[in-house]
A and B are shown apart, each in its own frame.
Chain A
Amino acid sequence: MVKIFIDEKPVEAAEGLTIFKAAQNSGVAIPHFCYHPAFVPEGSCRLCLVEIEGSPKLELSCSTVVREGMKISTQSPTVREARRGVLEFLLAEHPLDCPICDKAGECKLQDFYQDYGLTESVFREFKEKREKKVRIGDKLILDRERCVLCTRCVRFLAEITKTSELGLFERGIRSEIGLYENEPVRNGYSGNLVDLCPVGAITDAEFRFRTRPWFLAKGESICPLCSRGCNIFIDYHPGFSRVPGSAKVYRIRPRTNEAVNGHWICDHGRYGFVEWQQKNRSEKLVWNSGNGTTQMSWSKVMIAIAERIKALRERKQSGRISIVLTTWLTNEELFLIKKIFKDGLGVKHLFFADPPPGTADGLLLRADRTPNRRGAQEMGFEPKPPDFAELSKDTEILFIFGPHLAGSAGDRAWKSALEKIPVKILVTSHLNELASAADFVLPAAFIAEKSGTLTNEDGRIQRIEAIARACADVRPEAQILLDLAREIHLDDAYFKALSGPGSIFRALGKDIRFFEAKP
């Protein structure tokens, strides 16, 4: 450790650390464009210059390593003048696009101008005219007038995806980012360029003109589309409290976690998440009785289901209940299923229907396209696909969790199997063919509307937080299961104590060693 002074405050910094990192660790923010923790310092934006006692010139904080006794000023008049200078230079050629630029509200140039600039424009010349709407990827638009040439995008594509679709052409003021012969950015990680770009030069075509960042709230969650469990932020409009279900997810962004996903998420997750969140949602409670569908209330439906279960229990035939699960369920939900159906009712036929595996891409995306297989395994489940013969032979009541059964079996075996089963209860967040085949369709929440934990492939237990309530009828599976347990009076004392995901997880930890650790 070395002792340095930042703005006259003594700071202990690890040896080999740059001034920038040492400052960051001690809560001192230094403005920057080209610096990014994932890359080697570039030193080209010149915004991070600081004053070091004894040095005749200002030095870059991003690349200068701390030395014992170094006295650094990040606020001296010279430093402030230098920052104003850099910002003034950038703004001289920057288009006055804020009113139409998607980045407004989360733009570094705006933020730094606000904090360190506030200069009057004295630029009286003609600004460089450049292309403003270059399609550089399926969902990426480049505006060359806004580009500050931080080269983060070029470096990302060179060092992380190693695909180098973007290059730096020409020289001097005519320098520009571009593709090679219109070969687009298409490498499964293109969306990260939007997050990386500090200004509105690279923007998301899906997000273009749709909303403003200051209307959006931010939640922390985990991407459920593969077993890596990338940490994400969900940016959503919170909706209006009197209109349930009015919350809307606009996009997700990576949440830095060096141990899981670094600074990135893949496009499969980034765009897939919003698709899953928004499309084909199951929103209505449905009971397909013989003469058409009837809309019911939750209490009525729970009673109806509980009656059928109780009937089987009386005949000592609760083994005739079968379950098709999915590893999309959280640890808490799987635990409740274990407690209610496996331990409580003695259900024997437990299967899993999941999205089929894909190909791992060697970076973040895993072949296993489910978020909680490890959790299911640690809980004693054996995630095996349904044996339809077994399923239809002995089943009186079938619970299906998730929509994936309709996609899992290559053949249409599930259809004929279901026809043989008297009572089918579908608990799902998404509608597909299964819904018309089921007797009860219970609308379940999707990841963004649930709280709980997921276990990624490394055995890391990670938390998801509900960001909003979905519309009126939708409920998290955990809640549905607790209501069911109460309705069938399965160990009232035990289940009464379980009020929410927190208490469920604690109970899980007591039951199974693996889950003892706090997420």
Chain B
Amino acid sequence: MTMDARILTKGFELEHLRRIGTYIDQGGYRAVKKALTEWKPEQVLEEVKKASLRGRGGAGFPAGVKWSFVPQKTDKPKYLCVNADEGEPGTFKDRYILSHNPHLLIEGIVIASYAVGIHLAYVYIRGEYELIARRLEEAIAEAAAKSLLGKKILGTAFGLDVFVHRGAGAYICGEETGLLESLEGKRGNPRLKPPFPASVGLFQSPTVINNVETLANIPLIVLNGAAWFLAQGLPKDGGTRIFSVSGAVNRPGIYELPLGTSLRSIIFEHAGGLKPGRTLKAVIPGGMSSPVLLPDEIDLKMDCDSVAAAGSMLGSAGIIVIDDGTPILDVLAKVAKFYAHESCGQCTPCRLGTSWIHKIVKRMAAGKGRAEDVDTLIRLSANIKGRTLCPLGDAAAMPVLAIARKFKGELERAMKGNA
């Protein structure tokens, strides 16, 4: 029904795409050659800006703009941190890129570093992806052996070292400053912003932090140009997104589709719709932190601005489908438990608020809830939102707010009859 939109995930079915030989045979590492030998760093940056490549990790911040915040002249070393923490529940797209096409990521890392003037990059990969981390290290070694990493890449003056750095089980380390703290060997407590990582980042130096999928798009932009990239998506949101679809659908998996694809089509056409006899109850569009959508809200274009306008967010594009077989209280229980478990504990509203919310929801799930609990959940969430040190507070508050408001009736009815 649709044209094959796959530009990123092309070739993923090839078993050995992660081997540099296959990757090069498939046309890999041409972009690096082009960027390093034909373009100046500023040209790369401009092209990425023009391509309207928005961050694929969750915040959707334009990558080219972020790169331009790094001071050109500085006596400090500059760093690139690749955010491969992929902790947002419902998201697994980066896992595919890392395990099936690590060289695409490496190529993106090299070009991005060239554009900004970075010579040392760390890939912060979640600790659970241990085997994938090893594959990535093998790919890095392969690239270095072919002079695609290291001192003089492809004989140019540009050099770059890339190291893999494994996390150890903390969702908060997917937040950019939590990641920096963790990379520095400390507790993953996010930092106050300002200053922003572009000026004071890793080891107090200017740092760019980009998501895996964001960087994987860079070689495509360099090879095919910004105009082509925009044409794959939308004027203010270029390219494709790899949607992770899971939950109550027949064909959970990754689906690379143009930005602006309708949510309904993703669920019912690409992912095969719901199980027999089931109706749709709710959809989480962008990872657990995004406000839930009701069945009458799924005629929605999946791009950053449209989803934001609908009161939710595209986030990590992790779509979780919930059908009528699941009480919404169960969903709320998973949400509350997750954020309480992952709160770093640094700031008051998140540390105490997520725990309090979790305790209330546990009590509700144990049959001891009261009708006023739903209003309390709403009020507590509102006291967390916008008041915390880092966005995890908002991530914790927004889904609870959305579920409590949109499913107030069902929740209150579930409490009726409790003592």
Contacts and interface: CB of A to CB of B under 8 A. Distances in A.
B386 interface: yes
Interface in B353-372: 353-356, 359-360, 363
Interface stretch (A87-95, A185-193, A201-209, A258-266): A87-95
A49 B356 CA distance: 22
Contacts of B192: 41, 43, 60, 63
A contact face: mostly helix, strand, loop, or mixed: loop
A446 B313 CA distance: 70
A172 B351 contact: yes
Contact of A85 (B344, B355, B387): B387
Interface residues of B, number: 28
B352 A46 contact: no
Given A125-B363, A174-B345, A175-B351, A92 B356 contact: yes
Contacts of B346: 44, 149
Given A49-B387, A57-B386, A60-B192, A90 B348 contact: yes
Contact of B353 (A89, A126, A174): A89
Contacts of B341: 172
B345 A149 contact: yes
B347 A45 contact: yes
A175 B354 CA distance: 13
A93 B345 contact: no
Contact of B352 (A47, A60, A89, A126): A89
A286 interface: no
Interface residues of A, number: 35
Contacts of B389: 43-44, 46
A175 B346 CA distance: 8
Nearest to A62: B192
B40 to A, nearest CB: 36
B348 A46 contact: yes
A93 B387 contact: no
B187 interface: yes
B349 A172 contact: no
Given A89-B356, A93-B352, A123-B356, A170 B387 contact: no
Contacts of A128: 355
A89 B376 contact: no
B348 A172 contact: no
A175 B345 contact: yes
Nearest to A45: B348
Contact of A92 (B343, B352, B387, B388): B352
B351 A173 contact: yes
Contacts of A93: 352, 355-356
Interface string A144-174: 0000110000000000000000001011111
Given A172-B341, A172-B342, A173-B343, A86 B355 contact: no
A493 interface: no
Given A46-B389, A171-B343, A85 B351 contact: no
A255 B192 CA distance: 30
A243 interface: no
Interface string A77-106: 000011001101110110000000000000
A174 B344 CA distance: 10
B388 to A, nearest CB: 7
B359 A46 contact: no
A375 B351 CA distance: 54
B397 to A, nearest CB: 12
Contacts of B344: 171-172
Nearest to A43: B192
A85 B359 contact: no
Contact of B359 (A45, A125, A168, A175): A125
Interface in B278-300: none
B340 interface: yes
A497 interface: no
Interface string B317-356: 0000000000000000000000011111111110111111
Contacts of A47: 348
A122 interface: yes
A99 to B, nearest CB: 23
A361 B170 CA distance: 41
Interface string A37-80: 00001011111010000000110100100000000000000000
Given A44-B347, A46-B387, A47-B348, 8 more contacts: A43-B389, A89-B349, A89-B352, A171-B343, A172-B341, A172-B345, A172-B354, A173-B351
Interface of B: 170, 187, 192, 340-349, 351-356, 359-360, 363, 376, 383, 386-389
Interface of A: 41, 43-47, 49, 57-58, 60, 63, 81-82, 85-86, 88-90, 92-93, 122-126, 128, 148-149, 168, 170-175
18 contacts: A43-B347, A44-B347, A46-B387, A58-B387, A85-B349, A86-B348, A86-B383, A89-B353, A90-B348, A92-B356, A93-B355, A125-B360, A171-B170, A172-B342, A173-B352, A174-B345, A175-B345, A175-B351
